Structure 1
Amino acid sequence: MDRLAPAFSAFLGAACADGSDRKVDWVLLDNFHASMADVASEHKVPCILNMPYSSATTEDFGIPDPSVLPMFRPFVETFKRCKVIAARSSFELEPESLPLMTKILGKPVIPVGLLPPAPAGGNTQRDDSAALSWLDEQPSKSVVYVAFGSEYPMTVKQLHEIARGLELAGTRFLWALKRPSVAHPDEDLLPPGFEERTRGRGSVVTGWVPQTSILGHGAVAAFMMHCGWGSTIEALQYGHPLVMMPVLVDHLSTARVMEQRKVGVKVRKEKSDEAFLGDNIATAIRAVMCEEESKRIFVANAKRMQEIVADDECHKRYIDEFVQSLRTYKN
């Protein structure tokens, strides 16, 4: 990103020049763009830090200490240089943790709403998606969708345990499988015979999949995932209960809140093992998909969350209030 600094500086210089009709009032930054914040400061343009995590993450962990967690040093440096924090959250979804953010961070925090993606429908990828074609053949609300985002620290051992859990659970599943970066190019990602043994009730798809269209499909009943904030919002947008396998910092906080809200089940992780074990994965899937009493509770609570996430008028108000707040802080 540092290599973009000269071009960004030239752009801001022209935009901030006397007589320019492209005046820049704010620069909105992602987590790791401290060099861009330095450029903006040189041109006297204030910065906003886009906080893409749940407010619960801030409540649980505050501002990371880069001396303990060096990977967060760019985030901390960017945070220091920003005047305002934009939080992808809402008081309706996070009534306990969102009000705490300003005190914890020591800077104004403005919620921008949940920013759910546009509802699935009319997807031009539709005819080319093997995943959606397979879902078309499944009964309504019968499939658990399995995906773990782009940053999940997946291992081949964990993939094998997931496969074992899906096989033991006995439910229908659609698995969007991504090859882990630690896997050898010739290494088999699935246990021998797994796809043959689950043929007819399971589908493993590699490569890109249209996730929002999958979540919006009538055959999908639940989402087994890592609890990244974006994927959690997408799941709740369609009222799906969760089977949660959190590992990273923000995933743990989001999973904590979703478990407290009884929106799903966090897979139990044995202290003696680095991976979530297949037996525990199967138990969690059955609780969400098969056991009627727990399933009813999880579905009902996920539907309550859906009412919040799918409220477009509410999110528009947050955006309007965000813009008005920026005018206030600018002045």
Structure 2
Amino acid sequence: MASLSGRPSPGLEQPRYEREGTAQVITNHGASAMSTMQRYVLAGERCTLTAIRSCVEWEPETFPLVPTIIGKPVLPLGLLPPSPKGARRAASANRDHATVRWLDAQPPKSVLYVALGSEVPLTVEQVNEMALGLELAGTRFLWALRKPSGASALDADMLPPGFQERTHGNGMVATGWVPQMSILAHAAVGGFLTHCGRNSLIESLLFGHPLVMLPIFGDQGPNARQMERKKVGLQVARYDKDGSFDRHGVASAVRAVMLDGEARTGFVAGAAKMQKVVADKELHDRYIDEFVQQLRSHAAAATN
């Protein structure tokens, strides 16, 4: 990796690369000849209510501000979390999957699950830095690896030479489909390296896992900063200019979340607080009931 000017992003501020990426999404015109921002503004002008997959318990500092910002009544949907019992049933159903069998042989809370989604894949260089960072960190890991951007195929050549041999027994790289909920529900998993998409956050915190965070696109950056403020985990250090990261930043964040006793204790406690919100079935069922009731009330008023 070339020498980079500028310091790594401090995490709690919006970095330059994210601001520039957001600006492109807002201003670029797609097949509809209309930018994302134009579509958002038109939709907002023509609707009377806004429903959001969130709630005040999840983000008490910011959720009450949303109606004022958008100028519309806001109906919280809650977090729509999956069922923990369903996840554990899925784990039982997937017990013969290679990843689950590998986890069965690992000590409790010892494995970092690594999954960055498929919408915005890493480059080959970033995959190499991620691999070397995991190796440097020295923790057990299970990596659900997607084909890197620019790679013609998903094969061993995209990983650093000798990586899988050196990490054999300590890590597993899975290049096909993996049962994510079964993995997150497994007793051997003790943390999650994630891009911080809303689904992944909710699925992970349903089981109280602290996070190593590497946001890539869209709402992932704000989500990561929110989780860092709540002391649920730590972001991988990034360079402000272009968002790049290196093996040392990966290793440092992984060690803090998985291996550093004092730091890990704090992150586990932060994740446990959020788990109480995510796993509160009665809370989220109540939000759905209230949402349905408000829609019925609104429809009745509109017909009178």
Q: Which of 200, 219, 231 lines up with 1:250 in the alignment?
A: 219
Alignment deviations for residues 187-233 of structure 1 (CA, whole Å, 9 cap, x no partner): 72211111100000100011211111111100000000101111011
Query: Does residue 135 of the first structure (1) align with residue 103 of the second (2)?
Result: yes
**1:307 match:** 276
Secondary structure, in 3 states, of the residue corresponding to 1:122? helix
Counterpart Cα distance in 2 of 1:89 and 1:256: 16
Query: Does residue 101 of the first structure (1) align with residue 66 of the second (2)?
Result: yes
**2:9 match:** none
Alignment deviations for residues 107-163 of structure 1 (CA, whole Å, 9 cap, x no partner): 221111111112212226414411111100000000000001122342111111110
- Does the 8 Å contact 2:190/2:209 carry over to 1? yes
Q: TM-score, normalised by structure 1?
A: 0.77
Equivalent position amino acid for 2:36 in 1 = F
Identical-residue share of aligned pairs (%): 51
Structure 1 pair 81–151 and aligned structure 2 pair: CA distance change class (3 A): farther
Alignment size in residue pairs: 272
Counterpart Cα distance in 2 of 1:208 and 1:79: 37
Q: Which of 262, 269, 291 lines up with 1:322 in the alignment?
A: 291
Secondary structure, in 3 states, of the residue corresponding to 2:172? strand
In the TM superposition, what are the counterparts of 1:1-331 in structure 2 within 5 Å?
Answer: 68-70=27-29, 72-73=36-37, 75-76=39-40, 77-119=42-84, 120-123=87-90, 125-185=93-153, 188-271=157-240, 274-330=243-299, 331=301
Alignment deviations for residues 234-271 of structure 1 (CA, whole Å, 9 cap, x no partner): 11110000000112230110011111011000111123
Deviation at 1:83, TM superposition (A): 3.0
Return the structure number with greater relative CO, CA threshold 8 A, min gap 6. 2
Deviation at 1:180, TM superposition (A): 2.7
Structure 1 pair 168–298 and aligned structure 2 pair: CA distance change class (3 A): same
Deviation at 1:69, TM superposition (A): 4.5
Question: Cα RMSD between the aligned structures?
Answer: 2.4
Counterpart Cα distance in 2 of 1:85 and 1:133: 44
Counterpart Cα distance in 2 of 1:316 and 1:186: 41
Q: Which runs of 5+ in 1 are unaligned?
A: 1-56
Secondary structure, in 3 states, of the residue corresponding to 1:110? strand
Q: Which runs of 5+ in 2 are unaligned?
A: 1-13, 30-34
Q: TM-score, normalised by structure 2?
A: 0.83
- Does the 8 Å contact 2:154/2:175 carry over to 1? no
Counterpart Cα distance in 1 of 2:151 and 2:39: 29
Deviation at 1:329, TM superposition (A): 1.9
Counterpart Cα distance in 1 of 2:109 and 2:25: 45
Structure 1 pair 268–320 and aligned structure 2 pair: CA distance change class (3 A): same
